[in-house]
Amino acid sequence: MTTNGDRPYTADEMMAVEAARRLDDTTVCFVGIGLPSLAANLARRTHAPGCTLIYESGTIGAKPVRLPLSIGDGELAETADAVVSVPEMFAYWLQGRRIDVGFLGAAQIDRYGNLNSTVIGDYEHPTVRLPGGGGAPEIALGVDDVFVMLRQSPRTFVEQLDFTTSLGDNVRVVVTDLGILEPRHGELTLVAVHPGSTVEQARAATGWDLQVADEMRETVPPTDEELAALRALETKGRS
Amino acid sequence: MTTNGDRPYTADEMMAVEAARRLDDTTVCFVGIGLPSLAANLARRTHAPGCTLIYESGTIGAKPVRLPLSIGDGELAETADAVVSVPEMFAYWLQGRRIDVGFLGAAQIDRYGNLNSTVIGDYEHPTVRLPGGGGAPEIALGVDDVFVMLRQSPRTFVEQLDFTTSLGDNVRVVVTDLGILEPRHGELTLVAVHPGSTVEQARAATGWDLQVADEMRETVPPTDEELAALRALETKGRS
Amino acid sequence: MIVPLRDAVSELVRDGDVVALEGFTHLIPSAAGHELVRQGRKDLTLIRMTPDVIYDQLIGMGCARKLVFSWGGNPGVGSLHRLRDAVENGWPRPLELEEHSHAGMAAAYAAGAANLPFGVLRGYRGGDLPSRTRVGVVVCPFTGEALAAVPAHRPDVGIVHAQQADRHGNVQLWGIAGVQKETVLASKRSIVTVEEIVDELEPRPNGVVLPSWTISAVAHVRGGAHPSYAAGYYDRDNEFYVAWDPVSRDRGTFLAWMKRHVLDTADVEEYRASLAEEATAA
Amino acid sequence: MIVPLRDAVSELVRDGDVVALEGFTHLIPSAAGHELVRQGRKDLTLIRMTPDVIYDQLIGMGCARKLVFSWGGNPGVGSLHRLRDAVENGWPRPLELEEHSHAGMAAAYAAGAANLPFGVLRGYRGGDLPSRTRVGVVVCPFTGEALAAVPAHRPDVGIVHAQQADRHGNVQLWGIAGVQKETVLASKRSIVTVEEIVDELEPRPNGVVLPSWTISAVAHVRGGAHPSYAAGYYDRDNEFYVAWDPVSRDRGTFLAWMKRHVLDTADVEEYRASLAEEATAA
């Protein structure tokens, strides 16, 4: 828990706010459940009301009041500009390159932004069988800008992925609970830390020798307005 | 004009009736405008109320009261069980082999049931540029049974097509104004003549040496019920 | 976003462009076609599954150098005389043809919308069409089966007509939807003319919604689909299609008709008035 | 056409079949899945984009020898413990995996519905997935570009849940439609369970209609999508998904749960009553 002077906020809230700030009023974004959905809906309710949210269930321009618990919640369809089939979603919309930003999470990330959401351990005899790629492989290559949201630890930020589920070519930013990474000279580099976090913490939470930008920024903490909008969404989501 | 004893009827009516008789209550048929549409709607209004009519505009299970003047009339959509896009119609429904019977017409037919609806004369320098194949090439190979409806004359029943638009592999019957042709021993053979027509007329109206079945039938003339249903459709179509 | 049709055409359509005007019997964007004629667009490659009256007019006015199509006729009536004159006699200029089947055209639009370079279908098998058009073969890596591949349609401009747009330029059409969604999504730029601008789009059965950000320009053109129809707005003008046959048979009659009703009218309102005046006089 | 679910499953699903139960978050055919368990179907190849609770149950009860999928988890909650136990420990039997991306699965269903042997997409590029699954390459005959080809899904049986059928067995579902149309059209045989039988289907926004002649059997199963939802009928049982996590973590707890709520119940009515009884007791 950190505070913005007045109000305390969680690491998740910091992450959602930082991701939301990167969306603008004309962004069309492909949203998954959890933090990405929170971030995109926050953007829509603060500085980017025109931001278009697309969920892979086929809802285009969804405007949920409550935070959805699944990518196919009824409210997404009810509030959407259009609802299309899943084959159409992936063929005409994602592959059609109509989507600017795609959010991805994962179990592991490497310094190139490649992600693993398939297995821990050997594929044939895994230690942990993860859910799998889902939409990620084509989202990773089918949108202009990939935003990754992932808590930072040596277990998740690894030297070598156990399995490469999706490629890091289009990863523009990784928002973690400690700071912000962006690609510089071909690898993910720490460019900002959140208030209360340090470069040392971020390096310690990274399984490779994390490069640090010459000009480090400190993230602006969530504003009161951002926190209020966020909590309105979260509260409604729980009700 | 011939009569069924009581009532006079036209050659077109005889053709529509003979084609309609070949559809049953479970037939799913792909219908074009004109005689095929008349025949299919007649079947639906007499012995085959369960017959499913599909128009290539995307209307599945259309139940028009008036005879449509185009394959995309509004009434087809309003009365249909389902309306799908044209790409879906050709991919999921026709190519998906869900359609039993397809009707085709043409400017020329040869003894193998191959059809020309593209050009008269040379393709690059045609004497007459015809509308072209439209749905015909894939209908001809994508349904189980192709029904051809075509007035018989040496100009239409030709030794050699000027252009092969669609193949005759699945042609099961050719209904003409003079009689009925069906494939026998690899070529279209006259198997029935309509009342008032003769084998000689049919042979004279054919540009190749038309084979005649050993057992020739005479078509049953349109019944009063068939004529009444037909004229109800035609009258409404004109209104 | 919502602009006059004249501006949409002048800004978005250039001489030499590949242009698709779609609408399968229903919602044919005729008014937009007339605006192409008024602005004297030329050397166009025109794509359309079912070229009918509006393409006969564009071809007869010399706007097109090439036609990509699958069925070119006057539905329920007969030939397109201007299309025939162009193909048979090169008047007013020769017309190159790229001819497909409906299934091939539909697959080509769907491939374009999906950003694939080609569409796959079981088609173009046998007959003379394959040797006269652009079609290739792809082999199934699992079964070894050979299938037809058609090059994706990727028009410079896709033009369709719809019933409604909202004030943000989101569009909804309903009823027979043809290949209009694919046409807009496959095109680099797009124009949608609509019957009505409404405050809010109400979801409809068989509705197809195109978000504003998939469209370059929306123009409010009431009656813009005449002589075809717009479900919920007006019926098909079947008599017009019949009357087009004698008008289009003769070059002079055709040119006079186009001058009177298209070139000498400023927009669809004047076009409609001009037709009404002629009907009253007759 | 409209038959009891028990009869539909016993007549149409055989041991060793390739079976797809689809429903993307919405309209998941859980009751039909339970009937597969009750009837002890085994050696099934199960296809599904998003295996969740119902597939966890089928896998944990040993019905499946192979899973074809793209994302297998408990949405918003975490792992599918029975799926993991099968893959990680071979319990109750080893489970072969054929793993795709969502885009690949969707293209495979669409190809199946279109009677094509493969679907084409820009996908499966780089990473480790291509070497672990069935994917091939096709080359564009026009541009030379290499694209991914996935083998079409052609299940022996496709099973989906919908809101309504009419008395003739025509089906309509609406809301998020997923890949259900493709699943039915791609399958050799199909079962549709519905919330309600109505006299006449009323066309709906975002409605998908499947004519009776595309379906092998329709069964009236009210509540058949629980714990997912049926738009217009009931909401998603979010608590059930959360509660599934501890139930499914332990083999014994899981088996007891399945015995009590599935094996010892005759149908969806008894299943619902059994869940209600447990909730009351707690």
Interface test with C, best of D142, D145, D147, D208 (most C CBs within 10 A): D142
SS3 D181: helix
Q: Does B74 touch chain D (CB under 8 A)?
A: no
Q: Which of C25, C175, C235 shows the shortest C-beta gap to B71?
A: C25
- Is residue D220, in this structure, part of any structural domain at all? yes
Chains sharing 3 or more CB pairs under 8 A with chain A: C, D
Across the B:D interface, residue pairs with CB atoms under 8 Å apart total 34
- Is residue D234, in this structure, part of any structural domain at all? yes
Parse chain B into domains and list their residue ranges. 2-238
Which one of the listed residues A56, A78, A200, A226 is annotated catalytic? A56
CB contact under 8 A, B92 and D114: yes
- Is residue D35, in this structure, part of any structural domain at all? yes
D85 plus D135 within the same structural domain: no
- Is residue C105, in this structure, part of any structural domain at all? no
Continuous H helices in chain D: 5-12, 30-38, 53-60, 81-89, 102-113, 180-186, 238-249, 251-258, 268-281
- A15/A176 Cα distance (integer angstroms): 6
CB contact under 8 A, C211 and A52: yes
CB contact under 8 A, C209 and A82: yes
- Is residue C167, in this structure, part of any structural domain at all? yes
**Closest listed residue to residue C244, CA positions, set C55, C96, C45:** C55
Confidence of residue C1 (pLDDT cuts 50, 70, 90): confident
- Is residue D22, in this structure, part of any structural domain at all? yes
- Is residue D125, in this structure, part of any structural domain at all? yes
D137 plus D172 within the same structural domain: no
CA distances from A40 to A20, A200, B39, C212, D153 (A): 6, 30, 56, 19, 34
**Cα D115 off chain centre by:** 21
Q: Is B213 exposed, middle or buried (0-12, 13-18, 19+ CB in 10 A)?
A: middle
Q: Does A121 touch chain C (CB under 8 A)?
A: no
Interface test with D, best of B24, B81, B86 (most D CBs within 10 A): B81
pLDDT averaged over 10-residue windows placed end to end, chain D, 282 residues: 97 98 97 98 98 98 98 94 98 98 98 98 96 97 98 98 98 97 98 98 96 98 98 96 98 98 98 95 80
Contact list in D for residue B60 (CB cut-off 8 A) is: 209, 211
Over residues B59-111, the pLDDT tens digits come to 999 999 888 888 788 889 999 999 999 999 999 999 999 999 999 999 999 99
- Is residue D279, in this structure, part of any structural domain at all? no
- D226/D31 Cα distance (integer angstroms): 8
Over residues B184-235, the pLDDT tens digits come to 999 999 999 999 999 999 999 999 999 999 999 999 999 999 999 999 988 7
How many residues make up chain D in this entry? 282
D147 plus D206 within the same structural domain: no
Structural domain boundaries enclosing D124: 115-151
Instruction: List active site positions of B.
Output: 56
Chains sharing 3 or more CB pairs under 8 A with chain D: A, B, C
C161 plus C184 within the same structural domain: yes
Confidence of residue B237 (pLDDT cuts 50, 70, 90): very low
Q: What is the CATH number of domain A2-238?
A: 3.40.1080.10
Q: What is the pTM of this model?
A: 0.97
Interface test with B, best of D118, D214, D215, D216 (most B CBs within 10 A): D214
D146 plus D225 within the same structural domain: no
Calculate the CA dihedral of residues B73, B102, C21, C273 and round it to 10 degrees: -30
Q: Does A61 touch chain C (CB under 8 A)?
A: yes
C224 plus C121 within the same structural domain: no
Query: How does the average pLDDT of chain B come out, rounded?
Result: 94
Which of B 150-189 lie inside 8 A of C, CB atoms?
Answer: 163-167
Residue of C nearest to A61 (CA): C211
pLDDT at residue A238, rounded to an integer: 44
Query: How does the average pLDDT of chain C come out, rounded?
Result: 97
Residue of C nearest to B167 (CA): C127
D33 plus D84 within the same structural domain: yes
Q: Which of A26, A81, A92 shows the shortest C-beta gap to C185?
A: A92
What's the structural domain count of chain C?
2
SS3 A221: coil
CB contact under 8 A, B97 and D116: no
C163 plus C237 within the same structural domain: yes
Question: What is the biggest distance separating any 2 CA atoms in chain C, rounded to whole angstroms?
Answer: 67
Q: Does A216 touch chain D (CB under 8 A)?
A: no
CATH at D54? 3.40.1080.10
D17 plus D63 within the same structural domain: yes
D182 plus D79 within the same structural domain: yes
C10 plus C140 within the same structural domain: no
D18 plus D138 within the same structural domain: no
